[in-house]
Structure 1
Amino acid sequence: MADVTGSAAISTTGDTGDPAPPGISGTGRIRQPAALIRLLAGLAATALALLSADYARATTNGLAEDVAAAAALVPHPLGGVATGLTTAALLLLPGFSAAHRLLRAPADRRHVLQQLADGVLAAVLAYGVSLAVDLWIDGHAPFSLVSALTQPLPGDPLARTEPVYGYLAPVLAFLTASAARERRVPWTVLTLSALAGLAAGAATPTALLLGVLIGWTAAHGTRWAVGTPDPRPRPTLLLHSLREAGLRPVSAVPAGPDRYLVRQQDGRPELDVRLLDRQAVTAALVQRAWRRLRLRTAPHPRALCSLRNGLEHEALVSYAAVAAGVRTRRIAATAEPCPDTALVAYERLPGRTLDELADEELTDALLADAWGQLALLQRRAIAHRALAPSALLVDGAGAVHLVNLADGDIAAGELVLRSDVAQLLTTLALRTGAERSVRAAVAVLGPDAVAAALPLLQPIALTPGTRHALKRAARDAQAAQATAAAPPAPDLLEQIRAEVLRSRPQAPVRPVRLERLRPRTLLAVGGGAVAGWLLLSQFFAADRNPIAAVADADPFWLSLALLTAAASHVMGAMGFVGFVPERLNFRNAVLAQVAGSFVKLVSPGGVGGVALNTRFLQRAGIPTAQALSSIGVGQLLGLVLHLLQVGAFIYLTGAETGDSERDALPFVVGGLAVAGALLAAVSAIAPARRWLAARLRPLTAEVLPRLVELLRNPGRLAVGFAGQLMVSIALIACLYCCALAVGQHPAFAAVGLVFLVGNAAGNAAPTPGGAGFVDTALVTGLAATSMEYGGAVATVTLFRLLTLVLPVLPGWAAFSWLQRRGAL
Structure 2
Amino acid sequence: MDDVVLRGPSRSDAEETPPQLVSVGRAELLLPARARRPETLVRFVLGLLLTVLTLLVADAAHDTMGGLELDATRGAGQAPRLLLALAGSFASTAVLLVPAAFAVSQLLRHGRRRVQDGLIAATIAFGLSMALNLWYPELLPQAIVSVLTPPEAASPFDGPLLALSVPAIAFMTAAGVARRPQWRIGLAVVVALDVLTALVSGYADALSVLLSLLLGWTTAHGTAYAVGSPNVRPNVELLFRALRQVGFAPTAAFRRPDQPPQEPQRYLVRQADDGPVPRQALDVMVLDRGQSAVGFLHRLGQRLRLRSAPERRSLLSPSDALRQEALLAYAAEAAGVRTRRLLATADLGPDASLAVYEPLPGRTLDQLDDAELTDPLLLRIWQQVHLLHTRRIAHRALTADSVWVDEDGDEDGDAGLVNLQDGDIAAGDLVLRTDLAQLLTTLSLRVGPERAVAAALDVLGPDRLGTAVPVLQPLALPRSTRARVKAQEKEQAKDQQQDSAPEQDTSQGAPLLARIRDEITRAIPEAPVEAVRLERLRPRTLIAVLGLAIAGYLLVLQLSSRNTNPFDALTQARPGWIAVAAVLSAGGFVAATMSFVGFVPERLNLWRSLLAQVAGGFVNIVAPSGLGGMALGTRFLHKQGLPTRQAVASVGVTQAVGLVLHILLIFIFGFLASGQYRTPFTDSTDLVVALLAAGALALLVAAVPPLRRWVVSRLRPMISGILPRMLDLLQQPGKVAVGVLGQLLVSLFSAACLYACALAFGQHPGFAEVTIANLIGGTLGQAVPTPGGVGGVEAVLAYALQTTTGMPYDVALLQVLLYRMLTLWLPALPGWVAYLWLQHIDAV
Indicate the TM-score class for this superposition, using the shorter chain for normalisation.
0.7 to 0.9
- 1:30 maps onto 2:33 in alignment: yes
Verify the 8 A CA contact 2:305 2:537 in the aligned structure 1.
Answer: yes
- 1:501 maps onto 2:518 in alignment: yes
Verify the 8 A CA contact 1:292 1:300 in the aligned structure 2.
Answer: yes
Aligned residue in 1 for 2:23: none
Give how far 1:340 is off: 2.3
Aligned residue in 2 for 1:260: 267
Give how far 1:431 is off: 3.2
| Cα distance change on mapping 1:539 and 1:24 into 2, 3 Å | farther
Verify the 8 A CA contact 1:384 1:405 in the aligned structure 2.
Answer: yes
Report percent identity of matched pairs: 35
- 1:541 aligned counterpart, secondary structure: coil
Q: Deviations over 1:586-605 (max 9, x none)?
A: xx735752675367547863
Report the Cα distance in structure 2 between the residues aligned to 1:159 and 1:676, rounded to whole angstroms: 41
Q: Deviations over 1:476-528 (max 9, x none)?
A: 55676677788998898714522541441567777666455566666665555
- 1:416 maps onto 2:436 in alignment: no
Q: How does 1:211-610 map to 2 (within 5 A)?
A: 213-214=215-216, 217=219, 221=223, 225=227, 230-242=231-243, 244-245=245-246, 247-251=247-251, 253-255=253-255, 258-263=265-270, 270-300=281-311, 304-396=315-407, 397=409, 398-446=413-461, 452-454=467-469, 456-473=471-488, 494-504=511-521, 514-516=534-536, 528-543=548-563, 546-547=566-567, 549-551=569-571, 553-568=573-588, 570-572=590-592, 574-575=594-595, 578-579=598-599, 589=606, 593=610, 596-597=613-614, 601=618, 605-606=628-629, 610=633
Aligned residue in 2 for 1:773: 789
Q: Deviations over 1:150-209 (max 9, x none)?
A: 7759xxx99986987697567656655554675332122222222333444577464686
| Cα distance change on mapping 1:399 and 1:359 into 2, 3 Å | same
Give how far 1:274 is off: 2.1
Report the Cα distance in structure 1 between the residues aligned to 2:491 and 2:714, rounded to whole angstroms: 19
- 2:250 aligned counterpart, secondary structure: strand
Aligned residue in 2 for 1:105: none
Aligned residue in 2 for 1:116: 111
| Cα distance change on mapping 1:454 and 1:133 into 2, 3 Å | closer
Structure 1: unaligned runs, 5 residues or longer: 2-8, 10-22, 102-111
User: Match of 2:437, as an amino acid?
Assistant: A
User: Match of 1:560, as an amino acid?
Assistant: V
Give how far 1:373 is off: 1.7
Q: Which moved more, 1:450-459 or 1:134-143?
A: 134-143
Aligned residue in 1 for 2:181: 184
Report the Cα distance in structure 2 between the residues aligned to 1:263 and 1:613, rounded to whole angstroms: 61
Verify the 8 A CA contact 1:354 1:393 in the aligned structure 2.
Answer: yes
Give how far 1:696 is off: 3.8
- 2:308 aligned counterpart, secondary structure: coil
Q: Which moved more, 1:90-99 or 1:270-279?
A: 90-99
| Cα distance change on mapping 1:370 and 1:722 into 2, 3 Å | same
Verify the 8 A CA contact 1:115 1:178 in the aligned structure 2.
Answer: no
TM-score for the superposition, normalised by structure 2 = 0.73
Report the Cα distance in structure 2 between the residues aligned to 1:51 and 1:545, rounded to whole angstroms: 20
Verify the 8 A CA contact 2:633 2:651 in the aligned structure 1.
Answer: yes
User: Match of 2:415, as an amino acid?
Assistant: V
- 1:342 aligned counterpart, secondary structure: strand
- 1:405 aligned counterpart, secondary structure: coil
Q: Which moved more, 1:41-50 or 1:795-804?
A: 41-50
Give how far 1:564 is off: 3.3
Report the Cα distance in structure 1 between the residues aligned to 2:832 and 2:368, rounded to whole angstroms: 60
| Cα distance change on mapping 1:495 and 1:284 into 2, 3 Å | closer
- 1:385 aligned counterpart, secondary structure: coil
Verify the 8 A CA contact 2:98 2:187 in the aligned structure 1.
Answer: no
Report the Cα distance in structure 1 between the residues aligned to 2:92 and 2:576, rounded to whole angstroms: 72
User: Match of 1:564, as an amino acid?
Assistant: L
Give how far 1:433 is off: 4.0
Aligned residue in 1 for 2:5: none
Report the Cα distance in structure 2 between the residues aligned to 1:805 and 1:376, rounded to whole angstroms: 61
RMSD over aligned Cα atoms: 5.6
Q: Which moved more, 1:716-725 or 1:173-182?
A: 173-182
User: Match of 2:378, as an amino acid?
Assistant: L
User: Match of 2:793, as an amino acid?
Assistant: A
Report the Cα distance in structure 2 between the residues aligned to 1:192 and 1:224, rounded to whole angstroms: 29
Aligned residue in 2 for 1:785: 801
| Cα distance change on mapping 1:682 and 1:648 into 2, 3 Å | farther
| Cα distance change on mapping 1:467 and 1:657 into 2, 3 Å | farther
| Cα distance change on mapping 1:492 and 1:708 into 2, 3 Å | same
| Cα distance change on mapping 1:512 and 1:97 into 2, 3 Å | same
Report the Cα distance in structure 2 between the residues aligned to 1:252 and 1:94, rounded to whole angstroms: 45
Verify the 8 A CA contact 1:249 1:262 in the aligned structure 2.
Answer: no
Report the Cα distance in structure 1 between the residues aligned to 2:568 and 2:130, rounded to whole angstroms: 41
| Cα distance change on mapping 1:31 and 1:538 into 2, 3 Å | same
Q: How does 1:99-138 map to 2 (within 5 A)?
A: 115-122=110-117
| Cα distance change on mapping 1:545 and 1:223 into 2, 3 Å | closer
- 2:511 aligned counterpart, secondary structure: helix
| Cα distance change on mapping 1:482 and 1:342 into 2, 3 Å | same
Give how far 1:402 is off: 0.8
Report the Cα distance in structure 1 between the residues aligned to 2:168 and 2:579, rounded to whole angstroms: 66
Verify the 8 A CA contact 2:255 2:266 in the aligned structure 1.
Answer: yes
Match for residue 729 of structure 2 among 677, 689, 707 = 707
Give how far 1:455 is off: 5.2
Report the Cα distance in structure 1 between the residues aligned to 2:757 and 2:95, rounded to whole angstroms: 66
- 1:299 aligned counterpart, secondary structure: coil
Structure 2: unaligned runs, 5 residues or longer: 2-8, 10-25, 139-143, 257-263, 623-627
- 1:734 maps onto 2:753 in alignment: yes
Give how far 1:406 is off: 0.9
User: Match of 1:556, as an amino acid?
Assistant: G
Give how far 1:606 is off: 2.3
TM-score for the superposition, normalised by structure 1 = 0.74
User: Match of 1:297, as an amino acid?
Assistant: S
Give how far 1:369 is off: 1.7
Verify the 8 A CA contact 2:476 2:534 in the aligned structure 1.
Answer: yes
Match for residue 724 of structure 1 among 743, 756, 759 = 743
Give the length in aligned residue pairs: 774
Give how far 1:237 is off: 3.9
Give how far 1:230 is off: 4.3
Give how far 1:371 is off: 2.2
| Cα distance change on mapping 1:213 and 1:334 into 2, 3 Å | farther
- 1:300 aligned counterpart, secondary structure: coil
Report the Cα distance in structure 1 between the residues aligned to 2:429 and 2:770, rounded to whole angstroms: 59
Give how far 1:541 is off: 3.3
Aligned residue in 1 for 2:17: none
Report the Cα distance in structure 2 between the residues aligned to 1:315 and 1:470, rounded to whole angstroms: 32
User: Match of 1:606, as an amino acid?
Assistant: G
